[in-house]
Structure 1
Amino acid sequence: MTPERFHKIKSVLQHRQTSLTVVTDGVHKTQNLSALLRTADAVGLDTVHVSLDDKGQYQLHRRTSGGSGQWVDVVLHEQTTQAVSTLRNSGFTICAAHFSAQATNYYDYDFSQPTAIILGAEKPGISDEIAHLADHHLIIPMFGMVESYNVSVAAAIILSEAMRQRVENDLYNQNQMTRHAFDRKLFRWCYPKLADFCDSNNIAYPALDKDGGIIYSEQWTQNVKAINQRE
């Protein structure tokens, strides 16, 4: 871990938007999910919520995702309704990309507030149940013959507008994580294998110095020795 890479990772993490997320409803093609996740990382999303397919599976296309699965947390749900309920209880406004009589243009919505954007698969869109649960319906204006955008393209269009508004409102310069959550994620991003070791053995992460070097305290070293002796 070079100091340059550490400070790059730290800067990216400081701009993460925990109050903006995407929820997929019936989106199961690996390339679509991977492209969506790549866009989410570029925009600075911390988390994306994904509904599992009928087989309870979730998979990314490595080339399309560009490694973004390492930087964006993916929360899996058996049903999209579970994600909606969890996010609403956490204070998110639920917006669905869905054409209806009540729908408004996506750029007229205020994305500076905590928002969850639900996106469905290209042909069927979101389910009627999810459309009913949403607080707002958003549409992307179209002037061609096709009836819809690809889901990953729709995500990029909407999230780009959300990013523009949040930059305008200076939200990217406001750390949205608690100190504890920030420090844990910073360590995990820098040292994922060591973070896995600590988590699996229920020990705290070691501290980091100002340039990302690991500070091996005597207590942490003793804990590791005790673990190795048990094995």
Structure 2
Amino acid sequence: MNREFLEYVLQFLSDNKQDLFHEIIEQRTRYATVVLEDLYQPHNASAVMRSCDCFGIQDVHVIEKRNKWSTSPDVEQGSSKWINIKRYNTPGKNNTIECLQTLKGKGYKLVATTPHTEMTINTLPIDEPVALIFGTEKSGVSSDVLDQSDYHIKIPMYGFTESFNISVAAAICMHTIRERLKDSELTWQLSENEKIETMLHWCSKTLDRYEKYEKVFLERHKP
């Protein structure tokens, strides 16, 4: 039914938009995902989301502890409507552990970014799906992340400063992983069902009358 509905609702988009959807969906991936732990600067959060869309990373997992998730529309440039954002913000709960356990349950290897390690993003094993975890601007990832992660990685640096800004670090890591996936024989693209679900999500964010189209379609296809 989802496939039929997608074919129905796509007709309300321009030909150019339809072509763009079909082109971009082939570059989307969940093989790599991004985790943001307790960011407090909206412009950094927004820049990471924008990079996720640009590099075809479909899912972003947001851990909220002391800091509530907040973004900057001027920096984000509408990128959040093209990706899926999962927030972990239950009061009184260890939201970091909840997020990490969820990702492990989905088969991801957890990858903590920290300058205090020898493995780099270039040598990180990618034979299994990876979740790239980035921490708060001042202190980096938490001890929970460091303890639970399968790998600790750093970005090679050649200057005096110890680390990159988080949005820069995330962009470098995503670019490196995408290039490595592109050059591999791994199946990193979305499944057919995931492609349909994702394109429907995009349609819902693009068409003002999406809910009306959905209602009409369901009425026509009643058992």
Q: Report the TM-score range of the alignment, normalised by the length of the smaller protein.
A: 0.7 to 0.9
**Aligned to 1:17, which of 29, 42, 50?**
29
Alignment partner, residue 134 of structure 1: 149
The one-letter code sitting in structure 1 at the alignment partner of 2:77 is G
2:183 corresponds to 1:168: yes
Alpha-carbon shift at residue 187 of structure 1 (Å): 2.6
Alignment partner, residue 91 of structure 1: 107
2:63 corresponds to 1:51: yes
Alignment partner, residue 197 of structure 2: 184
Q: Deviations over 1:150-180 (max 9, x none)?
A: 00000011111101101102558x642342x
Distance 1:76 1:96 in 2: 19
Q: Residue 50 of structure 1 contacts residue 74 of structure 1 at CA under 8 Å; is this kept in 2? A: yes
Distance 1:177 1:194 in 2: 27
**Aligned to 1:148, which of 163, 166, 170?**
163
Alpha-carbon shift at residue 27 of structure 1 (Å): 1.4
Aligned residues: 203
After superposition, the Cα gap between the structure-2 partners of 1:92 and 1:31, relative to the gap in structure 1 and judged at 3 Å, is same
Q: Residue 24 of structure 1 contacts residue 80 of structure 1 at CA under 8 Å; is this kept in 2? A: no
Give secondary structure in 1 for the equivalent of 2:30. coil
TM-score normalised over the length of structure 1: 0.79
Alignment partner, residue 124 of structure 2: 109
2:74 corresponds to 1:74: no
> More deviation in 162-171 or 23-32?
162-171
What do you get for the CA RMSD once the two structures are aligned? 2.4
Give secondary structure in 1 for the equivalent of 2:122. helix
Structure whose CA Rg is larger? 1
TM-score normalised over the length of structure 2: 0.81
Distance 2:26 2:110 in 1: 25
Q: Deviations over 1:13-32 (max 9, x none)?
A: 22210121011112121100
After superposition, the Cα gap between the structure-2 partners of 1:222 and 1:26, relative to the gap in structure 1 and judged at 3 Å, is closer
Give secondary structure in 1 for the equivalent of 2:103. helix
Alignment partner, residue 4 of structure 2: none
Alignment partner, residue 26 of structure 1: 38
Could you tell me which runs of 5 or more consecutive residues in structure 2 were left unpaired when the two chains were aligned.
Answer: 1-12, 90-94
Alpha-carbon shift at residue 121 of structure 1 (Å): 2.2
The one-letter code sitting in structure 1 at the alignment partner of 2:200 is F
Q: What is the percentage of aligned positions where both structures have the same residue?
A: 23
Q: Residue 115 of structure 2 contacts residue 162 of structure 2 at CA under 8 Å; is this kept in 1? A: no
Distance 1:94 1:183 in 2: 27
Distance 1:15 1:112 in 2: 19
After superposition, the Cα gap between the structure-2 partners of 1:35 and 1:12, relative to the gap in structure 1 and judged at 3 Å, is same
Q: Deviations over 1:34-57 (max 9, x none)?
A: 0001111111011000112426x3
Could you tell me which runs of 5 or more consecutive residues in structure 1 were left unpaired when the two chains were aligned.
Answer: 199-203, 207-215, 224-231
